[in-house]
Every structure is written in C-alpha cells, then in structure tokens.
Homo-oligomer: A and B are copies of this chain.
C-alpha cells in the first residue's frame, strides 16, 4: 500500500535529491567504491552551506544562566560510555563511565570501579572496550521514576545499570551464552501483580548466532547456532531467564501493561551470509508472553547451557505453535526490519521495514487475544502496514496521535498519523496519513521525542541521531562527529532548530522533563564502609610488605602530606574527600604509577598498587579546587 507524499515539503519538493539518495541505496555489496550512496551530497565547502530557518514555535537557544528543560540520556556507542545531554541546547552535561576505563574519574583504576567492571586473575581489567547502543530508564505508572537507567554493551554482551541519583554505574552483568547483545528495554509494570506498578525486569535481545555453549563445538555447523533473549532482574541484576529464539534480535519494546515484551528480528532465515540474511520477504517481530514464560520456569520447564545456571526456555517458532500455551508469537514484518517502538497510548508496537519502505502497526490487545486463542492468524494483529519512505528505522511519538520515523536512505523524518494509517490500510484510500517530511543531515538512525516512550509524550522536541555529519561542522580530519539534530514538533510542520555534534557514536537516547530527576550533589560518608571521616584517623600502617595509607583531602591540602614506602611493598591508598561543598571535587595523581582518580564531596575511593620504582613521587591534585590548587601536593618517598 502506498500514498503520494506531501508535495509541499522540502524532501518531496526536491525529487532529484530523493532519487539520488535512492539509486545507490542498496549498492555496495558487489565491490569497493560503489558503496553507501553518499558520495556526492550537495554542500562541502564550508561557507557555501545555506542556513535553514530556525524559529518554530519553540526557542532552542538556552541563554546563559538558564537551564535546559529536558534531560537526555544518550548511549555513547563504541566510546563505551553513557552520556547526559541537556535539551534543547544539545549540550553534553556529563559522561558516566561504565564499560570502558575513564582516566578522569579513575574508572578502571580504583578498587571500587574494578570490582564493578570485573578483573582477570592478575587483577587487570577483564574488558577494556565496549559498544553501547541503547539506554532506557526505569518506569513507574507509565513515566520515568528517576531510579535507574540501563545500557547495553554489544561487544562483550554486558548490561550496566546507572544510578540516576548519583549518575554512576553500580552494577555490570555479562549475559551468558550471548554474543551481540543489542536491544534493551525495561518492563513498565508486572504482568501479573497490579501492585507492582514499576520496573522489575530488563529485557535484552541477543543478535549473533553462536554455538551453545561457545567452547569450540559446532564451528562448522551454523545450523546448530543459537541466539537468546534474556530477562535481567532490575534490582539484583542477575539473569532471571533466557529464551531460545529464531532470528537475530534487533530492538526490544515492552507494553505499558507489563504483559508483553517484543523484539523485532531480521535474519529469521538464520543465515550467516548477506544473501541468506536477506532471502525472506518478511522477517518478524517476536512477542514474549512474560507471565507464561515465568510460570514455565517455575514449573521447571527449562534447560540450561554449559556452566550457566540460568533457566532457558524454548521460544522458537517450532516449539510454540499452539497459541493457548505458546510462550512466544512471531508477527511477520517486511524484510530485515529495524526498530520496534511502543506508542504512548499503550495500544501499538510499530516496526519499520528497513529494506521495505513500510511501517507496520501491531495492535497489542489483539496479540493478547491471540495468546487466548481468539485470533486465528498472528498476522491478523497487524492493523496497518503503509509506505512511508525509504529505509525506515525508528519511530517516536508526540502524544497527539502522530508518529515520526527516520528514513535512513531518504535522509528524512516522516511525520505520519497512526489512526489515518490504520484507516488507510482498512481501505479508506482518502486517509492522508503522511503529514510532513523534513530533510535531516544525514542518514538518520535513532529518533526520539520529549517523553515519547512514556504515557506522557508532550510533543515538543524531537531529536534525531544522524550517522553522518559530512559538511555540517568545521572539518577536523577524517573522523567526523555525528550530528544530533533538534526539531521543533510543537506545530503541524517540523522545524529544524539546532544541531549538536557528538563523538561517535550515540545510537539511542531518551528525553524527559527535568522534574523527574533529583540527583544528589554530594555523597554521604555512610555510603562508603572504608571512609576516613576524621582527620585524626588519617595515617600510614604497615603489615609486612602491605602498607595502608589512609588519606583525607580538604581544599587545598592532603593529610598526610608525605609517606615513605619501599620497593616491593603493596600499597593500598584510601582517600576520603572531607569537603562538603557542592562541586568541590579533588583528584589524586601519582606520577609514573598510572594512578589518577577523583573524589567528589564526601566520597571515598581506594587504589592498590605495587611499589616498583624508587625515588620521590609528588602526588598532586588534578581537579581544580582552590586558589592554592597548584600548590596542593604531597610526597611518596620510595626507598630502593
């Protein structure tokens, strides 16, 4: 089903641009140099770029002294971090290290962070790279409750939890027998107990097929390889259960009633080559009946894999043919779909076609009816499937019935009305579902709007993560920033308002009102069992070659200001920041010993290191704290 696009919008008004982008859309499989279809986009010289209009109904400019209205939680891609942006300014306010070391914070250096990250038997970090894609936050009654966010690491199949009171990572779990952990979404309430009106589970989609366990068996027999869908406990961060599935999980979505989780899936062919992965005309969005799966686990209807104790249920197509007992159901979606998003009215999941120019709208009440045996064909849950443009990926919502979908190949956002699309699909060809189109720069991936993934979508700001920035910023060499474009969606027409360069590569993000968070500004000594709360307890003790240095800091000095050790000692240095003033952070660096970390107000951290080099080592404060910050230093004297 198709519909003429609105000829009055920019993308449509410039058909040659659209045709150009499309012609090479799927090229690049055959050889080098033909790829990507973005060879000759207009622009390029730095002064020749035209300035679009900026003033819609909303003002994107945040004046000095004003605060952003929205928090944005952003993934950091293969930088491996979690980021906090202010919206509408697009300014990066914070980075939270989780999967990869951070030399500023001392993440991966302090004993406390190493315990969270995980170490090898020799004490070095188990993992030093990460690839974060999606971040989502905990819910209560259909809105964010400000407790936690979670973020995935695709490289090493880890999930990290971020505490939103202190904006720190406090737990990391590695999913067993999963490679290519991609989509992630918390549930929004319990599927059975209505009193549990908040997040208690996080669902994790596994992407790559691997032997189970992956110990060298079945190397040459991909038909025996498997991908798993995992459920992690939101509090303990332990894996509750896993499910064997067909296909590769892309994104994950959950229903507002807590009953359904879903993953859209490409490669339901279970192929390992491009050709195999793209063979089928339709792939799937697989729905999980959470209550049934957990009952099955309770009933002992599970297996385990290798050394893992995690119960594994069978959610493959073949094992779930009877809707009334099925743990899962596969709704068909056109070719290699990308993105599944829950509409804020709680009614629909929307999947994009990626290799099909369509969006598919699945009605959740009908999916529940399917599991009751009241819907004959699972594909009868599809209430709309309409053409929206080339390379559709992800969808956001404005709370006024409109969806906004990124079109990767068209380099556009399309605004379309969900009810009109349903009417159009039902046969009302007069239903104009495409409302507006807007060019973006360039090749957009994820998209999200203010409060979009809650029941309180407010339809003000839309952000779109453009994968290529090309000529939009001053050139800085071959590695380009990505371009997070901000769009005013408060009116009928979308208005491009601002663009923020970001270090590659944010994928997904959420945007919510600032009132939903009340972060703390200083720590409490009680949070740290090893805190040195009194200067009188600072000092050095020795037990054989093990030396403990209890140190405190208060601007602009350390106590003690000097300690003496010997080559061969193992030193544990515990540092408490006694300052109680907001923003008064201290650092401690020891030259040539690979030690630097910060202690925020009232925080305690520790490091343990072997003393290997004799000499005088001035430890000093790396985090500006006081007029005499430069003079703030002490001496580690190392005897040969």
Contacts and interface: CB of A to CB of B under 8 A. Distances in A.
B504 A579 contact: no
A408 interface: yes
Nearest to A126: B594
Contact of A581 (B36, B54, B127, B467): B36
A472 B86 CA distance: 12
Contacts of A557: 28-29, 274
Contacts of A627: 25-26, 354-355, 391, 408-409
How many chain copies? Answer: 2
A579 B32 contact: yes
A580 B31 CA distance: 12
Contact of A84 (B101, B476, B521, B578): B476
A78 B622 contact: yes
Interface stretch (A194-202, A320-328, A479-487): A479-487
Interface residues of A toward B: which range?
A: 35 or more
A600 B28 contact: no
5 shortest interchain CB distances as A-B pairs: A216-B614, A35-B555, A167-B477, A478-B600, A32-B554
Contacts of A61: 54, 61
A39 interface: yes
Contact of A35 (B46, B168, B584): B584
A46 B67 CA distance: 7
B71 A591 contact: no
A105 interface: yes
A589 B131 contact: yes
Interface string A96-140: 000011111100010000000000000010011111000000000
Contacts of A180: 591, 618, 620
Interface centre among A63, A354, A519 (most CB of B within 10 A): A63
Interface stretch (A231-239, A417-425, A491-499): A491-499
A476 B506 CA distance: 19
Given A219-B637, A630-B266, A67 B49 contact: yes
Given A78-B587, A208-B620, 9 more contacts: A29-B556, A36-B555, A36-B625, A77-B623, A78-B103, A154-B589, A156-B591, A208-B633, A467-B624
Interface string A64-97: 1111100100000111100010100011111100
A638 interface: yes
Contacts of A582: 470, 478, 480
Contacts of A165: 477
18 contacts: A28-B557, A28-B626, A49-B65, A50-B65, A51-B64, A64-B499, A67-B473, A93-B476, A94-B476, A109-B128, A155-B589, A165-B477, A180-B618, A470-B583, A477-B521, A478-B600, A480-B582, A504-B623
